[in-house]
Structures are given as structure tokens and as C-alpha cells.
Structure 1
């Protein structure tokens, strides 16, 4: 007798529908279980760690203080606390562990940022490689830098920040000069969907001549700001490869007389004239701007011919200001260190001479440097968050955070820029006199290397020993028959020039720098 099940009695298509319904139910249960809907929280065996993100406000900077446009500020809400995330707990960098205490800039520095205008000079060949990083860090903070003007040789707009073509109103005669070839070509490139980024992506395009064009921007920049934003205490000039520590700079400017017609900056010299170095950055007081470009709106045009004959725009500007009775403030000259300086972090020589001195900027920065310096500043503020006022950044702070962690006893194919003392066989008077027959030395040494082995240039070991023998030596480098020593320590960088070079550092002596006590600064 054959057994017949209930399923056997059903039509074939009905059985198909039942199987499909069964499979759908299975998949539905699996999905609900995977998302924790059918699994009680108490039965969950995985440890759960909830990620919390600090609230961050992003805003598009505006020169208008009373802007209420809904596009002016966009806030991002913190992550929902109801969302559990399975993660491995990893200690975050200091800058991400907690928000830095917001010191009131005016109280901490003695200078209200609203009394300052920042003039940023960039160019068509570098603007998209540097300015977005600046605008997303310190130049994007309205509590720190509320008044920023961007000047270039081509009109543009970056994230809502207008970029002014500062050369638009120069004379037609000047625009016809060979120096303006880049100016005209850059506009053609922009209209042709090509990109002046000097990279390796499709569409990248390179134009030479930026340096020749750059010198003409200085005078029109200050003529423009004198006409559009007069009456401020300070006007700070910044190049796009410069990074300012704004609070430290403000604190220093607050100690100076902003009512006097002065210019402040790192000293440079050309044609017998003293002027403020543009790459390091400088500032002009309100009265200095008022009695020059403010009093004479045509000042920039009248000095165009002079600018054509000079190499450098910072020298041209200083020369014109000097003719109007503006002098460079020399209060920080002669100290052996520079608050406004012209080097990147890896090129600065650190030592007792500048250890406790304030530093207000880093020059020759790339995008990565801007990011690293911004993180460094944030961590510096966190470490000093319990202090009433944010202390100025000193050279020691840069060294401890950005140089010391990367120092080792020696590095091959590396240049640490040691240069205070130099030794080479070609400059050693003993070499020619001991190995060449002469009336004074008729019997030269047949094996001179035996007596030269202690010469610093003879070997890397002899060079290192020479550094050890000099009590002040902190670093040395050796290449071929050349030895250099220095009383400072710079991180340096890797080289590949075909000559084997080795650099070394006296880590014990460098460590003793940490024991130096720094006295309080005047600001």
C-alpha cells in the first residue's frame, strides 16, 4: 500500500509557491537576526564600544561680521548615541582625544583679530595646491582670522572665498611686457579646461614665469586694501607657502606701537636698502598704510616702471613705503634668531641660541606641512588648555614635536645641513705642503695617509670624532673628503646626488637641551 503525503495531493504549482514562501521566510529571519532585531541585547557576546565624535562647526569665512546668510554656516551634528558600532579600541592622537580649550584670542594675545586684515598672495600655478589647505585650517577660523583678502594673478573662487585678480588694473603698457606672458596664458588655460597644478593627472598643465609676474602684485595689493578696508591696526602680508602661528604673531604685534607708521618683518638687504623679507611675512601698521597708499591712490601705478627694473616685490614695496616715511621696525634685529623666519621645519637649526625664542611662522610649506602644523598647533593648545592665556610657541616646541622624534645617531644618504665648521683636503694647507717636494720640504712623506687619519675630512669616523672633540658640536655630516660640523641640530632631508653622504647627531648633547629653563617672554 502506497503512502501518500499531503504535499503529494497538492498541485505542482502550489508546492512551488510554498517552497518560495519558505525560502523568503528563512532569509527574512536571517536579516532580522543579523541586525539585532530578534537578538536580545543581553545575548550579544561581542563587546560594544560607542564612538563619540566632537561637535564641529564648519563655516565659510566672510569679511562681513553681520552676515546671516543660511549658506554662511553649515553645522554637522554629532554621531547618534543610539548607534552601536563594533570596533577595536585604539588610542587616538592627542589632537583627536579632546577639543582644545578655546582661549579668547583678544584676551590671550592683547590684539583683537578684528583689528587685523590678512593679505594672502597666491598665483595661478599654485593656488589649488596650497590655498584649500590654508582655508580649511587657520584661514578658515573666523575667530582667529576674520578679515582675509586673497590676491592672485587670475580671478577665482575657492569654496565661496573670492580670489581677486590684483593685476587687472595695472597699465596696458605693463600688461604688454614679456613679464605678463603667464598672466595672459593662465586665462587661456582656465578657459580651455586645463589645470595649472603641475601634477601627473590628465589635463595638468605647466606654465613658467610665475616669479617674474609675482613682483608686480605687491603694490596693487596694498592699494586695494587701503581703498576697501582702511582704519585697521595691522595689515599682515602672507604668501601661500607660509604658515603663521597667529596667536604668537598677534601677541608680538600687540607689544608694538600700531599708531606709528612702521613696517615689521625679518631683515633683508638689496641695493644697500633694508627691507622686510616677503617670504617670512611682514606687517604694516594702519598709519603706514594710510600715509602711503591711503593718501595716494595712484601710488602703485606711479611706481610700475621702477618695479619692472627690480627683481623682488618685497623690496619694491619697502622702497615705496620708505619714500613715504615708513621705516622697518628693528626691535628684534641682532638677537641671532628670527621670530619671522624663512625656513621649513626640517631646515631650521635648533640650539641654545634659539631654544627659548618665539617663532611666528614656518616658510616653504607644502600641503602636508600645513596639515601637520595645524595638528601640532591643536595639540599645543590642548597641552596648555589649563593656562589662563595661551603661551607663545617657541623654537623648542617645534623641535620637540616635529624634529626630535625623527632624530637618530646617524643616517645614510642624508643631509642635516651642518655647516658652522668645514674641513676638506682641498682646503687643508698640510696636504699640499706635506706631499709636494719643495725647498721647505725636500722629502715629502711617502705615505701621508698615516698622518692624515685624524683629519676630520679623512673619514666619517674622523669627522664624527671631530664633532665629539668640539664641546659645542650637536651635528656632523661627511661626504667624500668633506666634513662639516655645527653647534645646532637640524633634521635635514634625504638626498640622492650621487655622492655618498652620512649625517650624524650628538643625541646626548641634544638631550641636554631639554634641561634648559625658558624665562617668560615680554608677550
Structure 2
């Protein structure tokens, strides 16, 4: 065999062997990328659709609302589920009467005293429910070097001297929305303190419409002891250490925390002798609250820092009002659980309409 041919053959064989090794290596890299991509994004090996069916707990499941009173309709509401699911309504003294009337004549109509927690920035009676001022017990550091909190101090002072809602010009200068961001973490702490160890805590606002039948069905498919934080995702704080963009649940469409998530957020480190060595969440995150516009954003970041990232169940938690939902299969081919910025008329109309539309089981 000619030596030149033998040398050429050896080079050819080496090139082929190298090519096979390169292809095998490339395939391995691609496979690993797909595996890690799926692990990070939660799509690897997970069906796009739920494989289980759910059942309505309303009895009767559907009823013609024509001629029925609110009391008649609420007789069908599954009150027993409130033993495990805690509704928490966040409002403010500045909320309009029209908005409050609509909320308590629809979404919150079937909750009796003690079943619904109403969180506010002023102690007052609202539709036979006692609104709790969760800002009243905040530590003294909230009152110092905190410009937005001044609005709360003005409101309390006017309440004390009898001018709140009497001196309309002065009352109008109180910017209630600037107080709102301070309610989120105290609201979560108060909900756990007053109604501990519930499976899930459902937080919503006065212009949030909640389809309770869908919400109850949805939550029954989750383990409450898993650390779950669910809502409509909004871009949050960038995690510099991990170089990751985080997300938080927009408070308007409502959000849910499981028992596991509540424990993770509220637990405090202690010494071997049981003494706390870190402040509660409301105090721990005040420095960030001073500079951030929104309490839901800070809440999301606080949860992220205890390893509870948002599970963005969008569009179930829908950031749009009824008549502004975009027309596409992204929105209309999944069940809706909440709506945001709902008009008072829509809230009452949809609530009554809903009673005739429920079905026993949907796969």
C-alpha cells in the first residue's frame, strides 16, 4: 500500500472521527440547554393544559337571578370553603361610595361578619363590616423621613378634630393613593394574625371583580403548604446578585398567598434561646417602601428574597376591565378568575349574570 495513500487515509479517518465527536458533543450541549431551559421556565415535561376536572361547590350550581334578592342568591354560596380560603379586601377611606357600594353588592355581598377581612387606612364601619386601620400599629420609624406617610398623619389629625369629610377642600388634599403602598405588608401580617393557618389568602381591591366559583375550583388543585404566590405578573426589581429580572403580582387584579408562602414571608430568625434577631416584614422592608411607588412591588421583592417567586397565572388574574379585554385566544380561551378596574355597574351586572351561567363540572 503506498505510504502517501496510507497517510491520507489516516488523516481522513481522523477528520471523520473528530466530526463525529464534535456532532455528539454539540447534541449533548443542545440537550442540556433544553433540559435546563425547561427546568427554569417550568415547561419541560409539563402539559400546557390541566389534566384534571373541577366541580362547582355552589348549591344549586346555577339559579335564575331574575326577581331574586341578594340574600336569595347568597344562599347558594359555599360558605364552608371560607374555613380554608380567607378573602381579604383592601380599601381606603378615599374610595368613593359608588365603588364601595358596588363591591359590597357583588363580589363581597355574600360574606358575613368575621368572614371577610377589610383592610384600610382608617378604622370605620363599611357595609356592616369593620374596616381595620393597619397603619395604626406601624412602628415609629414610619413617621420619620417618610414624605408619603404624611398623608396618613393628616387624615388621622382631621379625623380627630372633626374636619375629615367636613372640610372638603382640606380632605381633597389628602392623597390616599400615597398611603396605599404601606398597607400591603401590614395587611398580610394582620391576615395571618387574625385568621392563621388558612390554606389560602385571597387579597383583592375595591375595583377587583372575583369570580369566586372559578377561584375556588382553581385553588383546590394546589397544595396549600407549598410556598405559592399567584397573580398577574408585572416587572419587578432586578436581582443584581443573580442578574435576574423578578416579577410581582399586580395588586389590582388580586393575588393569592398559600399557607406555605405566608409562613415563609413572616417567619423571623431567632437565637437558640428563642429571641428574635430580625424585625418583622413591615419594618424590614420600610427603607425600600420609602423610595418605591408601589406596595405590591415591594411585596413581590420581599417574597422573592425568601425564595417564593411569583407564579404568574395570567390571564386568569386579568388586569383589564370587562369591556377592555383584548380579543384574542390568549385571553378568551382560558377561564377568568379576576378582573381589574371594573366599573360599579359592571360589577353588579356580572355578579347577577354569573349565577345563571355556572356549570357543575368542567374538564
**TM-score higher than 0.5:** yes
Does structure 1 conserve the Cα–Cα contact (< 8 Å) formed by 2:77 and 2:110? no
Q: Counterpart of 2:82?
A: 113
Is residue 354 of structure 1 aligned with residue 331 of structure 2? yes
Q: Counterpart of 1:81?
A: none
From 324, 341, 353, the equivalent of 1:376 is 353
Question: Compared with structure 1, are the counterparts of its residues 196 and 247 closer, same or farther at alpha carbon in structure 2 (3 Å cutoff)?
Answer: farther
Q: Counterpart of 2:65?
A: 95
Q: Counterpart of 1:319?
A: 301
Looking at structure 2, the residues matched to 213 and 245 of structure 1 have their Cα atoms a distance apart, in angstroms, of: 28
Does structure 1 conserve the Cα–Cα contact (< 8 Å) formed by 2:89 and 2:119? yes
Is residue 153 of structure 1 aligned with residue 153 of structure 2? no
Question: Compared with structure 1, are the counterparts of its residues 128 and 100 closer, same or farther at alpha carbon in structure 2 (3 Å cutoff)?
Answer: closer
Question: Compared with structure 1, are the counterparts of its residues 316 and 353 closer, same or farther at alpha carbon in structure 2 (3 Å cutoff)?
Answer: closer
Q: Counterpart of 2:100?
A: 131
How many angstroms does 1:259 deviate by? 1.8
Looking at structure 2, the residues matched to 316 and 305 of structure 1 have their Cα atoms a distance apart, in angstroms, of: 10
- How many residue pairs match? The answer is 279
Unaligned residue ranges in structure 1 (runs of 5+): 1-93, 392-519
Q: Counterpart of 2:202?
A: 236
How many angstroms does 1:362 deviate by? 1.7
Name whichever structure is richer in helix by fraction: 2
Does structure 2 conserve the Cα–Cα contact (< 8 Å) formed by 1:119 and 1:236? yes
How many angstroms does 1:146 deviate by? 6.6
Does structure 1 conserve the Cα–Cα contact (< 8 Å) formed by 2:248 and 2:297? yes
Q: Deviations over 1:309-328 (max 9, x none)?
A: 21211111111112222222
Does structure 2 conserve the Cα–Cα contact (< 8 Å) formed by 1:181 and 1:209? no
Q: Counterpart of 1:122?
A: 91
Matches within 5 A, 1:462-481: none
Q: Deviations over 1:351-389 (max 9, x none)?
A: 3443331001121123323222222223324xx5xxxx2
Is residue 252 of structure 1 aligned with residue 218 of structure 2? yes
From 189, 194, 218, the equivalent of 2:184 is 218
Q: Counterpart of 2:154?
A: 185
Q: Counterpart of 1:79?
A: none
Looking at structure 1, the residues matched to 208 and 170 of structure 2 have their Cα atoms a distance apart, in angstroms, of: 24
Unaligned residue ranges in structure 2 (runs of 5+): 1-63, 238-244, 270-278
SS in 1 for 2:216: helix
Looking at structure 2, the residues matched to 213 and 164 of structure 1 have their Cα atoms a distance apart, in angstroms, of: 14
Is residue 306 of structure 1 aligned with residue 288 of structure 2? yes
Does structure 2 conserve the Cα–Cα contact (< 8 Å) formed by 1:124 and 1:186? no
Does structure 2 conserve the Cα–Cα contact (< 8 Å) formed by 1:242 and 1:361? yes
From 172, 175, 190, the equivalent of 2:140 is 172
SS in 2 for 1:283: strand
How many angstroms does 1:250 deviate by? 1.2
Does structure 2 conserve the Cα–Cα contact (< 8 Å) formed by 1:223 and 1:294? no
Q: Counterpart of 2:22?
A: none
Question: Compared with structure 1, are the counterparts of its residues 367 and 104 closer, same or farther at alpha carbon in structure 2 (3 Å cutoff)?
Answer: closer
Q: Deviations over 1:429-481 (max 9, x none)?
A: xxxxxxxxxxxxxxxxxxxxxxxxxxxxxxxxxxxxxxxxxxxxxxxxxxxxx
SS in 2 for 1:140: coil
Is residue 282 of structure 1 aligned with residue 255 of structure 2? yes
Does structure 1 conserve the Cα–Cα contact (< 8 Å) formed by 2:107 and 2:347? no
Which is greater in Rg?
1
Question: Compared with structure 1, are the counterparts of its residues 170 and 256 closer, same or farther at alpha carbon in structure 2 (3 Å cutoff)?
Answer: same
Does structure 2 conserve the Cα–Cα contact (< 8 Å) formed by 1:156 and 1:164? yes
Question: Compared with structure 1, are the counterparts of its residues 371 and 100 closer, same or farther at alpha carbon in structure 2 (3 Å cutoff)?
Answer: closer
How many angstroms does 1:302 deviate by? 1.6
Looking at structure 1, the residues matched to 323 and 217 of structure 2 have their Cα atoms a distance apart, in angstroms, of: 25
CA RMSD of aligned residues (A): 2.9
SS in 2 for 1:325: coil
Question: Compared with structure 1, are the counterparts of its residues 248 and 95 closer, same or farther at alpha carbon in structure 2 (3 Å cutoff)?
Answer: same
